[in-house]
Amino acid sequence: MKASRDQNKQIINSQDINTKTSVDNNDVREKIKKLIKKKKYNLRDLSRNIKKNDAYLQQYLYRGTPKVLPEEYRFMLAEILDVNVNELIPNWLKDLSQQEQFLVLRNIDNNINDINNISFSRKLLIDLDFFNEKNLFYFQTLTSDGHITSIVDVSMKKFIKPDIYLLNDGKSYFLAAIELSRLNQGKLSVKPYLNNFYPFQINSDLIVISGRIIWQCSKKFSK
């Protein structure tokens, strides 16, 4: 059975796309290799600094696994190498990003080892309850079997309705479900996500809220 002209075109176009993708991926790898050599970094230490196993960058740079450096590690590596993260993005992925239109959110928690920025598709914002994109940040909560990523609206600093809010105990941020107390009028019932914070009740005018959570997703660690 002979392939049609349209089928042949699809095969050729697919081969061209795969070739361009491979070239772009290799260009990024070579750029990273030169930066590492110039700054005299150790691959094992760099892998540890982006919270991966010792051989991660060795495998990525010299074996092509993974084919594309995941976004969160790309941001971390760009910061360590002191280079604009766009220089570590293959051209084919930039083209896709322009079509998809991503929103880059800053990390509300400024710990040294945290990722400073992460991008979300703007499609996620459809029907979300917020007023201004400039008020949106992201926050990640690490649990025993994975992590929870939240989009936080920092303009909402007061309790409005039963929901999930971001609080700060003076040392670190934490997520908590807040609702009106059923036992004490004028107080709020606060139930933190993590077990190292105990549930408590507090006067509504005393609680300090950093923002309201408008979107969440979770990722489980593979075991």
Reading the block at residue 146, the tokens are 């994975």
pLDDT classification of 199: cutoffs 50, 70, 90: very high
Q: What is the pLDDT of residue 201?
A: 93
Higher local confidence (pLDDT), 167 or 24: 167
pTM of model > 0.85: no
Q: What is the pLDDT of residue 28?
A: 87
pLDDT digits (tens, 9 = 90+) for 161-186: 999 999 988 778 999 999 999 888 88
Q: What is the pLDDT of residue 185?
A: 81
Q: What is the pLDDT of residue 189?
A: 95
pLDDT classification of 5: cutoffs 50, 70, 90: very low
How much of the chain, in percent, has pLDDT values that exceed 90?
A: 28
CA nearest neighbour of 148 among 194, 207, 103: 194
Report all structural domains of the chain as residue ranges with CATH numbers, in order of start.
5-100 (1.10.260.40), 135-220 (2.10.109.10)
